[in-house]
Amino acid sequence: MFVGAVLLRVVLAPLAAVVGVVVYIAYKIAVAPRLTGKQPNKVPTRSSKPFELYYFHDSLCSQKVRLFLAEKGLSDQVASIHLDIGHYKHFQHLEPWYLAMDPNGTVPCLVHDAHPVLDSTHIIKYLDGIGVGPMLAAPTEWADVIDVDTRPQAVGACEGFQTAVVVLSGQILRLSVEFFGVSDTFFALLRHPQPIVCLIRIINRLTGVHLDPPNVEKALRETIPQNLARIDKALSAHDFIAGDTITTADIGVAPAFMRLESLGLLDHFLASAPNVQRWWVAMKARPSFAFAFVDPPAEYAVEHDKVKAGLLEFRRKIKAYGPFVVYGVKPPTPKHLL
Ligand SMILES: N[C@@H](CCC(=O)N[C@@H](CS)C(=O)NCC(=O)O)C(=O)O
C-alpha cells in the first residue's frame, strides 16, 4: 500500500505532469497559426515615405523583401528601419510597440499607408498586387523555394530549400549567443508574449536545435543538393530560374545563396551546378543587390566585426575540412563504392 502511494506521488504523478506538458506543447506547435498578409489595424508611421520596412540586415526574409523592392524600382520610396533581433543584444523585435504591429515578433514587416503587412512571401505577393513596377511573380511551381518557413514544424522536418539553409545557419545564431551572453539572451527571449514561441526560441538559440544532427545531415545530403539540381536544370534552358526575365523565384532564393556563400558552403554545393554558377555571377552584378545586402547601422560596428571574424574562422574550417566534418555529419558514400 505504502509503496504504491509513494510510487504514485513521487514517480507517476510528476511523470504524468511532464507528459501532459509535452503533449500540450507539441499540440500548440502543430496548430500554431502563421500571421500573414495585410493587417486590419493601423499603426503610427515614422516617415513621409509610402513604405516603411522594419528589417534586420542579416535576415533572409528581410533581404528577400529588400531585393524585391529594389527590383520593383521602389527603393527610393522606402524608409528602412533596422531592428536588432537579438544578434546584438537588443531584441527590438520583442518590444511592445513592435509586437503591437507584428504579434509574431519577427522581421520583416512592411508598413504601407499605415497598415502592417506581415511575412516576406506575403509582402512580395502584396506588392505585386498593388500595380507598381514590373510584375515579378513566378509560376506557382516555384512557390516552395520562394518561401522561408521558420516555424518549428518546418525547421524540425528540414522542409524546403531555404529552411535547410536556415538549419545550417544555426552556426550564426551560436556565434551571437557565444559573443553576447547566454543569460542575457535567455531573459530577453522570455519577453515574447506567446509562451510557445518564447520556449521554442529559447531552445533554438541556447541549445542550437537548428544544428540537430539528423536535420543538418538532411540539409547537407538531400534538401540542398536536390533543390540545387532542380534549379540548375531550370537554368540550363534560360537565363533566370522561371524564364527569360527575373521573377520572385530568383529573388526568393538569392538571400539563401548569399548565406551559403558567407558560411563558405556555396563552392561545395555549386561544384556540380554550372548553370547556377553562371546565374549567381549575373545576379550579384544587379544593382538591387547593393540595396538588399547591407551592413548593420554604424552603432553595431564593433559587434558586426566580431561576427564577421567568427564567420571568417568558420569559412576557414569549411575550406580545410569540408562541410561534413565541420558539421559532424557522415559524408555520403562515393558513387563508385555503392
Ligand atoms: N515566414 C516569415 C519568417 C519571419 C522570421 O522568422 N524572421 C526571423 C528572421 S529571418 C526573425 O525575425 N526571427 C526572430 C527571432 O528569431 O527571434 C517570413 O518569411 O517573413
The arrangement of strands across the sheet holding 115-118 comes to: 37-38, 115-118, 109-112, 51-55, 78-82
CB distance 176 to ligand 1 below 6 Å = no
- The number of the ligand 1 atom at minimal distance from the alpha carbon of 108 is 20
Ligand 1 centroid from CA 169, angstroms: 13
pLDDT of residue 203: 81
Rounded Cα gap, residues 252 and 138, in angstroms: 10
Which three-class secondary structure state does DSSP give residue 119? coil
pLDDT of residue 247: 98
CB distance 128 to ligand 1 below 6 Å = no
pLDDT of residue 305: 92
CB distance 52 to ligand 1 below 6 Å = no
The domain 142-328 is placed in CATH, from the list 3.60.10.10, 3.40.109.10, 3.30.70.20, 1.20.1050.10, at: 1.20.1050.10
Which three-class secondary structure state does DSSP give residue 64? helix
Q: Give the helix ranges, DSSP H, for the chain.
A: 2-6, 13-31, 60-71, 96-99, 120-129, 143-146, 152-157, 161-168, 170-180, 182-189, 195-207, 213-218, 224-237, 248-262, 266-270, 274-284, 288-292, 301-321, 323-326
pLDDT of residue 336: 62
- Which grid coordinates are listed for 257? 545563396
Output the pTM of the full model: 0.88
Atom 12, ligand 1: which residue's CA is nearest? 106
pLDDT of residue 338: 58
pLDDT of residue 296: 97
Structural domain boundaries of the chain? 37-138, 142-328
pLDDT of residue 141: 94
pLDDT of residue 221: 94
Atom 2, ligand 1: which residue's CA is nearest? 119
Ligand 1 centroid from CA 192, angstroms: 13
Residues β-bridged to residue 337: none
Which residues of the chain have a pLDDT value below 50?
none
DSSP secondary structure letters along 88-106:
TS--GGGSHHHHTT-TT--
pLDDT of residue 1: 61
Rounded Cα gap, residues 137 and 77, in angstroms: 21
Rounded Cα gap, residues 317 and 310, in angstroms: 11
pLDDT of residue 29: 63
Do the Cβ atoms of 176 and 87 come closer than 8 Å? yes
Instruction: Identify which of 62, 101, 150 to mutate to test ligand 1's pocket (most ligand atoms within 8 A of the CB).
Output: 150
Atom 13, ligand 1: which residue's CA is nearest? 106
Atom 9, ligand 1: which residue's CA is nearest? 59
pLDDT of residue 106: 93
Instruction: Identify which of 107, 177, 189 to mutate to test ligand 1's pocket (most ligand atoms within 8 A of the CB).
Output: 107
The domain 37-138 is placed in CATH, from the list 3.40.50.720, 2.40.10.10, 3.40.30.10, 1.10.110.30, at: 3.40.30.10
Ligand 1 centroid from CA 61, angstroms: 7
Atom 10, ligand 1: which residue's CA is nearest? 59
- Sign (positive or negative) of CA dihedral 274, 279, 280, 281: positive
Instruction: Identify which of 106, 148, 198, 253 to mutate to test ligand 1's pocket (most ligand atoms within 8 A of the CB).
Output: 106
Rounded Cα gap, residues 89 and 92, in angstroms: 9
Q: Which of 85, 96, 101, 95 is nearest to 52 (CA)?
A: 101
